[in-house]
Amino acid sequence: MLKEEIWIEKYRPKKLDAIVGQDEVIKRLKSYVKTRNLPHLLFSGPPGVGKTAAAISVARELFGESWTNNFTELNASDERGIDVVRIKIKNFARTSPLGEAEFKIIFLDEADALTSDAQSALRRTMEKYTSSCRFILSCNYSSKIIEPIQSRCAVYRFKPISGAAVEERLKHIAKEEGVTLTEDGLEAIRYVAAGDMRRAINALQAAAMLDKKVNMDAIYKTTAAARPEEIESLIKLALSGDFNKARATLDYLLIEQGLSGEDIIGQIFRAMMDITIPDMLKIDLIDRIGEVDFRMAEGANERIQLEALIAHFVYCGSGRK
């Protein structure tokens, strides 16, 4: 019987050395821990690449077993107003560190969700309490962090986890949990995860709840993702001029598999990189994919937009531009 626990929490790295796929960043963070001279830090990068794990690991290695006494974590997407900075953050920052710690650490996750007023207030707080507190900010888009805060931080950019690192970690987890992970299942997880280790581990656990043998079919059933060959077939049918068959494939993905328009448009974009067509045609199609994605994000009917997209593919594929 599989243990009913969230594997992403169970296997979250507890030390900097356990974080995979970010060798350059980890090397520099370890030098801070070694010298115990930590500046304010700003971690930016896509989801599931180790930003939160790195922040907590830094605190663990600096403060040892009592790390929770001098570390606090706030999720800025939940508490994003100026009052959070003025009350919660300021009250924690102004108190002295406990034990033999030289300073405390405030970790602001998803800091790009903070309002402009909150970020402006945070700028002054970071400056005022440097002697007793260090800030670690984590965000997906560093461009949403105001320049005065960026200039006060050492900025580290986390990259998507490589396929080899994802594969190595998944094999370790499968072995620990007594799960048989097939080669096609592993390849499917790598495709679905797209460099997001959290998504990869969650996909493995979701599939393992169905059967201890995890294969490609189990992964695509539990992750709301179409098979790459289905997306490729949709594109090729449209480019060949067969609108009705392409539309039937789209219906299958939307209705039978229950995929959202956002899922499908994202996979169509990924598939375009692997399809051999003239460069100018690929440029035109990618431009239209971006336009359709924007329209759906703004609230347009996804069914109409996706059918308009494949109609454009048919039109371009027939050479009647």
**How do the domains of the chain map onto residue ranges?**
22-157, 163-222, 228-317
Q: What CATH number matches the domain at 163-222, 3.40.50.300, 1.10.8.60, 3.30.870.10, 3.30.565.10?
A: 1.10.8.60
pLDDT tens figures, 67-76: 888 888 887 6
Percent pLDDT > 90 in the chain is: 38
CA distance 304 to 257: 18
Distance, CA of 197 to CA of 167 (rounded, Å): 10
Residue 42: pLDDT band with limits 50, 70, 90: very high
Q: How many CB atoms lie within 10 A of CB 288?
A: 15
Q: Which CATH number fits domain 228-317: 3.20.20.190, 1.20.272.10, 3.40.800.20, 3.60.20.30?
A: 1.20.272.10
Quick one: pLDDT at residue 1?
A: 36
The answer to whether the beta carbons of residues 298 and 221 sit under 8 Å apart is no
What is the pLDDT, as a whole number, of residue 76? 65
Q: Which residue blocks in 68-160 are alpha helix, DSSP H?
A: 82-83, 90-94, 116-128, 147-151
Q: Mean pLDDT in the chain?
A: 87
22-157 placed in CATH 3.40.50.300: yes
Give yes or no for residue 85 having a pLDDT over 90: no
User: Cα–Cα distance between 93 and 79 in angstroms, integer?
Assistant: 17
Query: Could you tell me which of 77, 92, 76 has the C-alpha nearest to residue 125?
Result: 92
Residue whose pair of structure tokens reads 């109609």 in the numeric block: 311
Beta strands across the sheet bearing 154-157: 71-75, 104-109, 133-139, 41-44, 154-157
Place of tokens 């289905």: 230
pLDDT band, very low/low/confident/very high, at 6 (cuts 50, 70, 90): confident
